Amino acid sequence: MGKIKKIGVLTSGGDAPGMNAAIRGVTRTALYYGMGVVGIRYGYHGMIHKDFVGMKANSVSNILARGGTILKTARSKEFMEAEGRRLAYENLKAAEIDAVVVIGGDGSLTGARVFCDEYYDIPFVGIPGTIDNDIYGTDYTIGYDTALNTVVEAVDKIRDTAGSHNRLFFIEVMGRDAGFIALSSGIACGAEAILIPEAHGQISNLKAYLQKDFKRNKSSNIIIVAEGDESGGAFAIAENVKHDFKDFDVRVSVLGHIQRGGTPSAHDRVTAGKLGFAAVEALMDDQKSVMVGYHNNEIDQVPFRKVIKLKKKVDPDQLQMVEILSI
Give me the active site residues, please: 132
3 state SS of 145: helix
- ∠ Cα 112 313 261 (to 5°): 65
Distance CA 152, CA 190 (A): 10
Distance CA 10, CA 29 (A): 15
**Spatial contact of 23 and 63, defined as CB atoms under 8 Å apart:** yes
**Spatial contact of 5 and 36, defined as CB atoms under 8 Å apart:** yes
Distance CA 186, CA 172 (A): 11
Distance CA 195, CA 205 (A): 10
Q: What is the CA radius of gyration of the chain?
A: 22
3 state SS of 2: coil
Distance CA 305, CA 229 (A): 27
- ∠ Cα 76 77 83 (to 5°): 105
Amino acid at 233: G
Distance CA 137, CA 187 (A): 23
